[in-house]
């Protein structure tokens, strides 16, 4: 996967990118009430408006689960790592881009 995609990207709908002042390739800060991560923005229509997608394939770069809820389903005992509310903003100019 690293040959196709060398680093984690945050897939953001282009209309959201425009509204948030984020351009393709920029480093963005993604914050939930549980934590924050930074990743490069990838503006794409693959993500619906109002949704951001991060993978779990780059734990050495971005630990996506720091954003999500640690609750688990009482029957399957599966972690609830799939969805949470976040805020997205351009990362500080002093951070590496």
Q: What is the pLDDT of residue 81?
A: 64
CA angle 31, 73, 50 (to 5 degrees): 35
pTM of the complete model: 0.78
Q: How far apart are CA 68 and CA 33, in angstroms?
A: 9
8-state DSSP, 66:
G
Q: What is the pLDDT of residue 13?
A: 98
Burial class (CB in 10 A: 0-12, 13-18, 19+), 14: middle
Q: How far is CA 77 from the centre of its chain?
A: 24
Q: What is the pLDDT of residue 8?
A: 85
Q: What is the pLDDT along the chain (97 residues), one digit of tens a residue?
A: 666 777 889 999 999 999 999 999 999 999 999 899 999 999 999 999 999 998 876 666 667 778 887 777 788 877 776 778 999 999 964 444 4
| Whether 68 contacts 60, CB under 8 Å | no
């Amino acid at each position: 996967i690293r040959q196709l995609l060398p680093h984690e990207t945050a897939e953001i709908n282009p209309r959201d990118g425009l509204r948030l002042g984020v351009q393709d390739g920029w480093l963005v800060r993604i914050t939930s009430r549980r934590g924050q991560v930074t990743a490069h923005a990838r503006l794409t229509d693959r993500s619906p408006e109002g949704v951001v997608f991060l993978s779990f394939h780059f734990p050495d770069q971005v630990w996506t689960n720091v954003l999500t809820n640690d609750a688990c389903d009482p029957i399957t005992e599966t972690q609830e790592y799939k969805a949470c509310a976040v805020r997205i903003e351009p990362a500080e100019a002093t951070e590496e881009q």
